[in-house]
Amino acid sequence: MPHRQGPSEGPPLPVCRRRFLARLPIPLFRRGLGWVFGGRLLLLHHTDRVTGLDRRHAVRARFLTSDDGAEIMARYARRRPRTAQHLCASMELPSKGTDAAFREAGRAIPFVRLDAAPGYRVR
C-alpha cells in the first residue's frame, strides 16, 4: 500500500502562492476589516530604508510575559549598556546598570513580539 502524505507532509506551496496568502490580509485592513482577525494581526506600515518606498506587512502581534521582557532587556543591556541605561532613564525607570536592575526594568516594560505571517520571509 503506498504511503499517503498528511496535510502537513505535503510539498511546500510555491513561492507565489505563499506570498499571495501572506499578503491577503493587507487589502482587508485597507478596507477597514482588520477586526476580522480578532486582534491577532496588525498592519505594519513602514518606509523601506534602502529604496524609500512605502511597505505594508501583516504581522502577528503577541504580548510577552514580564519574565520574557526581563530576559530581553537583560540581553539587550549586555550588548548595549549605554543605550539600555538611556532607555531606562527616558522611561523614568530606575536602573543602576546591573543585570538585576535591567531585569527589573524589563518586567515593567510591556514587550510585544511581531512575527511575519506564516510562509512569508521578512528581509
d(CA 50, CA 40): 29
Number of C-beta neighbours around residue 117 at 10 A: 19
Residue ranges of domains in the chain: 15-63, 66-108
Grid cell, residue 73, equals: 532587556
Average pLDDT for 15-21: 76
- The percent of residues in the chain predicted with pLDDT above 90, rounded, is 37
Contact 70, 110 (CB under 8 A): no
Q: Rank 30-44, 72-86, 103-117 by mean pLDDT and report only the highest.
A: 72-86
State pTM to two decimals: 0.61
> What average pLDDT does the chain have?
81
9 pLDDT band (50/70/90 cuts)?
low
pLDDT digits (tens, 9 = 90+) for 77-90: 999 999 999 999 99
Neighbour count for residue 74 (Cβ, 10 Å): 19
